[in-house]
Every structure is written in structure tokens, then in C-alpha cells.
Structure 1
Amino acid sequence: MAGITGAQAQSFGLDGLLPQGGASASGRIVQIVAMLTVLSVAPGLLMMVTSFSRFVIALSFLRSGLGLQSTPANLILVSLALFMTFFVMAPTFDKAWQDGVLPLVENRISEGEAYAKITAPFRDFMLAQTRPQDLRLFADLAPASIRPQDPAQAVDLRVLIPSFMISELRRAFEIGFLIALPFLVIDMIVATIVMSMGMMMLPPTVISLPFKVIFFVLIDGWNLLIGGLVRSYS
């Protein structure tokens, strides 16, 4: 009997696995599932609401303009864009942590209050970088339930995020054009010289590639490009 009693004493129920609180067990399970879902889509959220997309697209245009297929490698470009994103978004991340995440962890505010305080810095950042035309487009396309009724009303994130994304894509392609234009001029000059010399079988890119690389190095291209990308958010 003593062994049975000891085994029963070591058994545990579902309540022991779930944190204590006012919500029911099913509510806690829903919260856990929601948290796991957010963590699984976190990389996508990072690209949608931060400066990552502008950086990685501009760096991709640079590699294409130079004519290099795999140098720098994708891992290097993505890592550089990621750390540049952390640099630019540092004030936003710090404000979201201090105002929303930290008070929630310390049980000083509820989940609803934490959500509003965490999203507020990202909302301000996206509004500052979104073109009014793009915001107006999605506001007109949105259903009446999420459409802002007056200018003083906060824009719903379901309207703001896609507006911010297409604004970032437009700006990234503008920067990409400015990056690719000098390299295109070099390609045209080299192609003209090669054709005038009658070397029809020689691909112009074979000759233009070292000239483009040395041109980019001599003008301190990495410093100019990274500095311009970061200042574009000032």
C-alpha cells in the first residue's frame, strides 16, 4: 500500500504543466499555440516591418551590376543586411523592449497592453517610411471594418504593413537603378571598344568585369553604399 501511495503521490495532472492564472487550461493552450506560431513566422515579420528588404535588394543589385554570380555569397549579403537592419532598427527595438516586452515579462501589464506598446514603435517607423500614395491605395482597398474613418485614427496594421512593403520595394529599386547605372556605362564602353576592334568572339563582360571591380574599390564603394543606405532612413 505504501508503494501505491508513493506512486500516486508522484503522478501529476495537466494543471501542473500549465502556469497558474485566471485563464482556463484551453485558453493557456491557445496562448502557447499562438506564441509558437508567431515564433515560426518571425523571419517573415522581420522582413515585413523592418528595413531588411531595402538592404538586401540593394545589395543584390550591386552584385548583379558587378556581374558576379556568387560573390559575395548569399550568406554574406543576407548577414550584412541583417546586421544593418539591427543597426538602423536599434531605437525601435529598444523602445519596444522597454515599453512592451519587459513590463509583460515582469507581469506589470496585460497581453493586450503589451501588444499595443510593442507595435507602437514599429507603427511609427513604418508610417515615417511609407508613401502617402501607397497608404491611400490600401486604405481604399481595405474593407470598411479596418479602414480609418478620420486622419486622427490610427492606421490598422493590416493596411500599414503592405503599404510599407511596397514603399520599401519602390525605394529599393530606385537605389538599385543608381547602383547599376555606372556599371552599365562601363559595360557599354567596353562593348563598343571590343566591337570596334573586331573581336566579335570575345564576350565584353570578360574585359569589363575587372574594370568594374577596380572602379568600385577605388571609389570606396562599400563605404558609400552602406552609408547611403543607412542615411536613407534618417
Structure 2
Amino acid sequence: MDGGLSGALNILLLLTVLSLAPGLLIMCTCFVRMVVVLSLLRQALGTQSLPPTQVITGLALFLTFVVMAPTFGRMYDEGVRPYLDGTQTDQLVAWNDAKEPLREFMFAQLEATGNWSSLYAILEYRGVDVSDPSRLSRADVDMLTLVPAYMLSELRTAFLIGFRIYLPFLVIDMVISSLLISMGMLMLPPVLVSMPFKLLLFVLVDGWQLVTTSLMTGFVQPGAPAGATPFG
């Protein structure tokens, strides 16, 4: 009887994890930054719907798995495996153990980017005194506060990266537009003429590898050395 009940609980836990996994993947991992930057890159190239959204999402998804592999491994080893092995029978303790590596990852990105303002704003809204951040600790920040603060930080970082990506393509558009005006070809759309030059530049610098490599190396793994920061 106990074995059947334990098996049913394991199945229930598995179904719960599977139902929450897509949301966790979007909100608590590097997927947000990946998909936003790749989408902005597509817009900067001016290729409309190429690559297709499915390709952009798929690439961002697999890059997310690459970056998050150490964190996912720790989550399984520290939280899921002990529960499945029966060494940890308390579901709440197992959940806390499993989410701790993910919390460390999110805090590591906040430290790397220095985007603490969103976290302070949410803490202040929830009635926490943030006048002296040195008195706060990570234990004061629950997941309900950390996740939206992390997402806002990732969106800010992604848009800053997108701005830098846009600049060279904007220069090409301006040069092509000036040339067309000087030649009196006002009826020819500058975007149509500049696209081949954008694609040529992007291919010559191996743009896809450059952007994806920069994205992956831009994430800090927990435990990396850092300076004095809040919530240490």
C-alpha cells in the first residue's frame, strides 16, 4: 500500500514539475535574454520573418539548456534525486533544496549586471525597508520577489545588447540612404538596397556565432568571483 502511495506521489510530483517547467524555463533562466536579443537581431537585419520565429525560439531554447546545464544538474542532484531515492521524503524540503541553485543563478546575474533597482523596487512595494541594503540578505528575498526582479534585469540587459547590435546596421542604412539621395534615386527604398550589405557584413564577421557566443559567455555561473555587492 505504501509503495503504491509513494508511486502515486512521485507521478503527481512529476506531472506538477512538467506543468511548471515551461514557465520556469521562461522566467527563471537565461531564455528571456536569449530570445529577446535574437529577435532584435532579426529586426536589425531587416529580414522581416527570417529566420522564422520557431527557429529563433528553438535556438534560444537549446542555448538556454547549454548555459543552464550546471544549474539544472545541481537542482537534480540536490533536490530531485534525494526525493526520488527516498532519502528525503519531505516535499517542501526537496523543493527548497531544488530551487536553491536556481536562486543562486538569478542572484549571480543580478550581481554581474548590477541591476538591483528592480529588486529594491519590488521589495519596497512589499513593505521591506531598503534604505540600507547592507542589512538585507538573500534570505529576505523570496521567489515571488526574485523572479520578477530577475526578469526585469534580463529585459534591461537584452535591450542594451540589442542597442549595440543595431548600431552597425543603422550606419549601413544611413550610408545607403545618403548615397541614394545624392544619386537622385528617391523612389528606391533604402531598406531594400541596404539588406544585401547587411547580410554580407553579418556573414563576413560570422555574426551568428559571434552573437550566440557573446550571449553564452555573458552569463555568470554561481560561485564565480565577484566584488562587494548587496545580498552577498
- TM-score (structure 1 length as normaliser): 0.82
Other-structure match for 1:4: none
Q: 1:98 aligns with which of 77, 83, 92?
A: 77
Q: 1:190 aligns with which of 167, 176, 179?
A: 176
- Over 6 Å off, 4+ runs: none
Q: Tell whether 2:68 aligns with 1:89.
A: yes
Provide structure 1 residue ranges, at least 5 long, that are not aligned to the other structure.
Answer: 1-14
Q: Tell whether 2:35 aligns with 1:59.
A: no
Q: 1:76 aligns with which of 33, 36, 55?
A: 55
Q: Tell whether 2:87 aligns with 1:126.
A: no
Other-structure match for 2:218: 232
Write the distance in 1 (CA, Å) between the matches of 2:117 and 2:28. 18
Write the distance in 2 (CA, Å) between the matches of 1:152 and 1:73. 43
Other-structure match for 2:201: 215
Write the distance in 2 (CA, Å) between the matches of 1:201 and 1:117. 63
Change (3 A) 1:188 1:114: same
Letter in 1 for 2:118: D
Write the distance in 2 (CA, Å) between the matches of 1:153 and 1:232. 23
- Larger CA Rg, structure 1 vs 2: 1
Other-structure match for 2:142: 156
Aligned partner of residue 20 in structure 1, secondary structure: helix
Letter in 2 for 1:98: D
Q: Tell whether 2:92 aligns with 1:108.
A: no
Provide structure 2 residue ranges, at least 5 long, that are not aligned to the other structure.
Answer: 221-232
Q: 2:120 aligns with which of 123, 136, 161?
A: 136
Instruction: Report percent identity of matched pairs.
Output: 45
Other-structure match for 2:228: none
Write the distance in 1 (CA, Å) between the matches of 2:138 and 2:82. 26
Change (3 A) 1:59 1:153: closer
Write the distance in 1 (CA, Å) between the matches of 2:147 and 2:123. 11
Write the distance in 2 (CA, Å) between the matches of 1:229 and 1:56. 10
* Higher relative contact order structure (alpha carbons within 8 Å, sequence separation ≥ 6): 2
